Amino acid sequence: MRNVDFTPLYRSAIGFDRLFNQMEKNVSNANTGYPPYNIEQQDDNHYRITMAVAGFAEEQLDITQQQNKLIVRGIRESEKEERQYLYQGIAERDFERKFQLADYVKVIDAQMVNGLLHIDLEREIPEEQQPRKIAINGRRIVEGE
């Protein structure tokens, strides 16, 4: 694992402290890669996270959104019977996967289909935050022009 030093960026960029702190945190807390996942952009404002959670039932999964963070946890019940594997290639362990969400992104749906957990996200930018035309030299701009 490589170490990345963001110190030079702090000296030359103003107002990006939160971004650099998040980058440092993500580099230092690299995920193990389990469970595997895809992030898909369906259009400008809709996204889907798909996680391979084979072996987990819906009641063993927990999805939580806290401000700009999405946390997906899988908690397996401990099995009472001991098994003797000749080869074990299927991971059977608890997990916690965190995703940093952009502003105004919220979870709108979650579904479990054939061992895949689909989490649908939508970005809803408030009306006052959306782009608008500005008048030049006092000329009035009409919405929709």
Report if residue 113 sits inside a domain: yes
DSSP summary character for residue 29:
T
The structure tokens 């110190």 sit at 7
Assess whether 91 and 124 both reside in one domain: yes
**Prediction pTM value:** 0.67
The structure tokens 């995920």 sit at 31
Tell me whether the omega of the peptide bond preceding residue 35 falls within 30 degrees of 0, making it cis. yes
Q: What is the pLDDT of residue 133?
A: 82
Report if residue 136 sits inside a domain: no
Assess whether 42 and 87 both reside in one domain: yes
Assess whether 26 and 47 both reside in one domain: no
Assess whether 40 and 7 both reside in one domain: no
Give tens-digit pLDDT for 1-40.
456 666 666 556 566 666 666 666 665 445 568 899 999 9
Question: What is the residue range of 105's domain?
Answer: 36-129
Please answer whether residues 130 and 136 qualify as being in contact, where contact means their C-beta atoms are separated by less than 8 angstroms: no
